Chain A
């Protein structure tokens, strides 16, 4: 193991030395954080999964337009029983260590990710079991008819069974048991890049996989992931050319980066919709009766928010004002859901009075300072807008780790939430996880504790409807209930900004804010 690591380090040095001598295309990716581990199943962290997707692949993947296309599986069909999916696997695929990709690997990987102790178990909610039919065919059995299996599978990385067994890593690492795992330090996938070496918090070196099964669209010889946590340092490193790309260009430095001669800024609107949620309990945290149970009160609060002002001032014109809880490109979205209520504080005030809300009603407004883009400022702006209609929101701003227990435990009132529908990229994701009544794996983010049986019925039906058109119609109908009831108030889709030096000639910007370097050119 020690020797292995030293060899890896030596070859990394060799790779880097080689890149220094010739003009190889090594992309230096400066991220705002490091990956947690080389094991994608070790920590429920979408950045880690995103980076490791360059090494490991799923049965299906997203293309340039975020549409699902075949990857390690070439085709699939639902068996007559409606709950078993038969996948035909790609031939001639090899892992980085030369082992052949077979049906055994798929079963071992699905078992691993859905094991008891896997923090990613929830990523494959419908999975029951899988079995090898022959070398090139796998049957996956679900707990019922489920239309979104492919969406889930885009993020389920496939390991080599032989490698897992040989290194005693068939099970995900269990921190509770206090054991380290081989896959935490080593990686062996089928993807376009392989891991050469890793120094946590310093650098992780990836080399191109010459034996990749797909025709590469990129022209990289490798890339180096360089975490640079401090935003100012990241900007400086980009300006000095020490990194060639960052997927996290600080909003306050965009003007400076744009002015620099050798840097290009890539700006877009993220899929993440920022919204406010309300408590549906009898009383507020301070013991007062809870007026937010009434839909007219929630609607009044919506009308009281000057969305244009937030867009222009707080987000510097870079956000997209939203009326719906999902972004336009998400299946299930409908334009009529995106209509805005119209800013009208007078009407809002009158509506509050009519609903019997006492003047100066105090409630907690729970926000994060390490969550969404400019979240503190958004909350401050909204709090002052609500004060103007005679309410007294009490701002409670703290890091995610501190706020989440209050939110899940129901010890706060109004809260923020950003939802990008990842990794599913379908309106079913917020409908099931936020708007459905809290039960089982549904409504995990239903922190307000609401329950709309009509909505639940639609979501459940959609979750078993295999006809896409019918399913999306149901989802739209459910989203209409969300809108009419103003269960949550959407504010905007937040901006995202990447930046790259001139050396990078092509870097497609993805609205799910995930770099996919297998499309990059330099």
Chain B
């Protein structure tokens, strides 16, 4: 297991170095941060001087190695736009994004799994057909469209929920949470629905497909023959055998949700990392963009590893295999 973890860590480091390399390769196509930073009246000299001071005249390899060297010491620099330490800036936004993603994930499982089972066991019913068609809509609607539709329905027309923002938050140490206040919880509802909609349909379709497969297997037939109640067969035995791909998918999708929450965050002005990144792109805030990409790639690597470990816990056969395989 230890060797497995070491290998994984080395992989992660390599992946992140590669991501940073690609990031710095493309940053120069984002434009010139200096033009966004100085006032209209600054002279060309002042602009050149600032560019020099920020080290933007160096080749991209120099900039890349400087970034890696600093990042290795935990220093990601100062945001060009906010003039704040980049790690502090991202640290402030991280809780907002993570809370949104957690709620969206729970929502996608809580709704997607039962719907998937239902559509599988009643697959000829009208309800199942309706859900299947509805899920196509869910997959194909872009999340900014669903976001705006939700806002129009629940904020403008009905006036039940806030259209934007995170509501009031409570600080617990460095973590700011919206779970503890009424306005914070209300503010979470629409963005998490918008973010999870795609996810719900994905989980539902996956569970349905897996269930249909499992229902044809021998052990289900034997269980039926033995007279095990149908509900127990479906919800316990069959479902459990379907969960492996669902766990994989959910784990991998948490990374995607964090990365793609930026659309939802922009629509709902959710003060998370995605919003920060979008603004960094607009203002060519290279330190923020670089740190954000590092963090997201780190999250992806960690999640991949966690999914592998989780496999071992769910499926005992893998557990027996995993240790020698990792120890080779």
Contact = CB atoms under 8 A, between A and B. Distances in A.
A237 B43 contact: no
A43 B83 contact: yes
A294 B75 CA distance: 54
B35 A408 contact: yes
A179 B78 contact: yes
Rank and list the top 5 A-B pairs by shortest CB-CB distance, nearest first: A401-B31, A44-B39, A122-B41, A176-B53, A404-B35
B267 interface: yes
Contacts of A21: none
B123 interface: no
B78 A122 contact: no
Contacts of B148: 232-233, 236
A261 interface: no
Interface string A384-416: 000000000000000111111100100000000
B32 A404 contact: yes
A13 B83 CA distance: 26
Interface in B127-168: 144, 148, 151-152, 155-156, 159, 162-166, 168
A184 B88 CA distance: 13
B165 A240 contact: no
Contacts of B55: 176
Q: Which bracket fits the contact residues of B?
A: 35 or more
Q: Which bracket fits the contact residues of A?
A: 35 or more
B35 A405 contact: yes
A174 B54 CA distance: 10
A370 B32 CA distance: 15
B38 A119 contact: yes
Most buried by B among A34, A179, A236: A236
A236 B38 CA distance: 33
Contacts of B152: 236
Most buried by A among B144, B156, B266: B156
A401 B83 contact: no
A119 B39 contact: yes
B275 A201 contact: yes
What secondary structure prevails in chain A residues at the interface with B?
loop
A393 B284 CA distance: 28
Nearest to A398: B31
Given A242-B163, A242-B164, A405-B31, A121 B269 contact: no
Contact of A42 (B35, B43, B83, B165): B83
Interface in B81-137: 81-85, 89, 92-93
A261 to B, nearest CB: 13
A180 B165 contact: no
A228 interface: yes
A506 to B, nearest CB: 25
Interface of B: 29-33, 35-44, 46-47, 50, 53-55, 75, 77-85, 89, 92-93, 144, 148, 151-152, 155-156, 159, 162-166, 168, 171, 266-269, 271, 275-276, 278-279, 282-284
Contacts of B38: 44, 119, 122
A184 B156 CA distance: 35
Given A180-B84, A405-B31, A240 B92 contact: no
A399 B31 contact: yes
B31 A444 contact: no
Nearest to A233: B164
A200 B82 contact: yes
B37 A44 contact: yes
B275 A121 contact: no
A181 interface: yes
B31 A229 contact: no
A233 B78 contact: no
Interface of A: 6, 9, 13, 33-34, 36-37, 39, 42-46, 117, 119-123, 125, 173-176, 178-181, 184, 199-203, 226-230, 232-233, 236-237, 239-240, 242, 370, 399-405, 408, 422, 433, 438, 440-441, 444-445
Contacts of B44: 408, 438, 444
B100 to A, nearest CB: 14
B50 A400 contact: no
Contact of B271 (A117, A199, A440): A199
Contacts of B279: 33-34, 201, 229
Given A199-B271, A236-B148, A236-B155, A180 B46 contact: no
Contacts of B84: 37, 180, 184, 200
A236 B155 CA distance: 7
A242 B155 contact: yes
A274 B54 CA distance: 32
Given A122-B39, A233-B267, A370-B282, 20 more contacts: A34-B279, A37-B84, A46-B39, A119-B50, A120-B39, A122-B40, A122-B41, A123-B39, A175-B80, A180-B85, A199-B271, A201-B269, A201-B275, A232-B267, A242-B155, A242-B163, A401-B33, A404-B32, A433-B40, A438-B44
Nearest to A181: B83
Contacts of B266: 229-230
A203 B284 CA distance: 23
A400 B31 contact: yes
Nearest to A404: B35
Contacts of A441: 41, 43
A175 B275 contact: no
Nearest to B278: A229
Contacts of B46: 121-122
A502 to B, nearest CB: 16
A180 B80 CA distance: 11
B54 A175 contact: yes
Contacts of A408: 35, 44, 47
A54 B286 CA distance: 30
A36 B155 contact: no
Contacts of A444: 40-44
Contacts of A36: 81-83
Contacts of B50: 119, 176
27 contacts: A43-B81, A44-B39, A44-B40, A45-B39, A46-B39, A122-B39, A123-B39, A175-B79, A175-B80, A176-B50, A176-B53, A176-B54, A180-B84, A200-B271, A201-B279, A202-B271, A229-B266, A232-B148, A232-B151, A236-B163, A400-B35, A401-B284, A402-B30, A408-B35, A422-B40, A441-B43, A444-B42
Contacts of A123: 39, 41
Nearest to B145: A232
Contacts of A228: 164, 269
A237 B82 contact: no
B31 A201 contact: no
B77 A236 contact: no
Nearest to B165: A202
